[in-house]
Each structure stands twice: as structure tokens, then as C-alpha cells.
Structure 1
């Protein structure tokens, strides 16, 4: 599992979703899905554009939660998925 830290990064910079959209050209739908952690996937180019604009590293934008990822994988294996 991953945590998307976009709300924190935007708040630290006193920016809104609309500000990020206008500055980067990334669709509001994509930004909103990342902001509210609804995204099932995201393009590397999108992450790159966001990180470049916010002047942050990918690790500041996305946090990997290893234990939860392992638990989810094991549950899928048990369910036969």
C-alpha cells in the first residue's frame, strides 16, 4: 500500500488543487484522485511533473507501507486471486 502525501505538500506551499492543475496541465480529475487517494494507478510522467513543480522528491509525494502491502498480497493469495 502507498500513502499519497499530496494534501500535505500542497498545504505547505499554500496551494490548491486548482493551482496545481493550472500550473502543470494535469487534469483536475487526476489530481483529485491522487489527493483523495482514490487512484488505482498513476503514470510516471504525472508523478514526475508534480514532483518537478512542487520541487520535491518522489519519496516525499508517495510513502510505501511495506507491512500493509504484504498483508494485502497474502490476503489475495488466500482468496485465490
Structure 2
């Protein structure tokens, strides 16, 4: 009687949500997460490289106008 009062009965442990004894699902989810992360980093790198503007970049000149003289 005193034991029942001091330590109430514990509920039975719930079964795992996914039965994955060998860890295949965990490895698949990890691999997909790594690929998604790398793709996001690539998209961010491309976005930053497109938005970056070099303040000391040389002026662009049309290719044909480099060796010609003005017509008068």
C-alpha cells in the first residue's frame, strides 16, 4: 500500500513513431537535408554574385568601337 502511494504506476512507454531498426530512413532524411542545404547555399551564392557590383570596374566599351576613329 505504501509503495503504491510513493511510486504511482507509470504509463507504458509509447511505441516509436517510425520503426527503423537499421537507420535507413534517418540516413535518407539526412542526405536529403544536406542536398537541400547545399542547393540553398548555391542559390544564395549566385544571388550575391549577381547583386554584387564592383565599384572600381572598368567602363565597358563596345567591342567594335575600340579600334575605330570617329567619323567626321
TM-score band by shorter chain is: under 0.3
Q: What's the TM-score once normalised by structure 1's chain length? A: 0.25
Q: What's the TM-score once normalised by structure 2's chain length? A: 0.28
Q: Which structure is higher in RCO with an 8 Å CA cutoff and minimum separation 6?
A: 1
Q: Higher helix fraction: Structure 1 or Structure 2?
A: 1
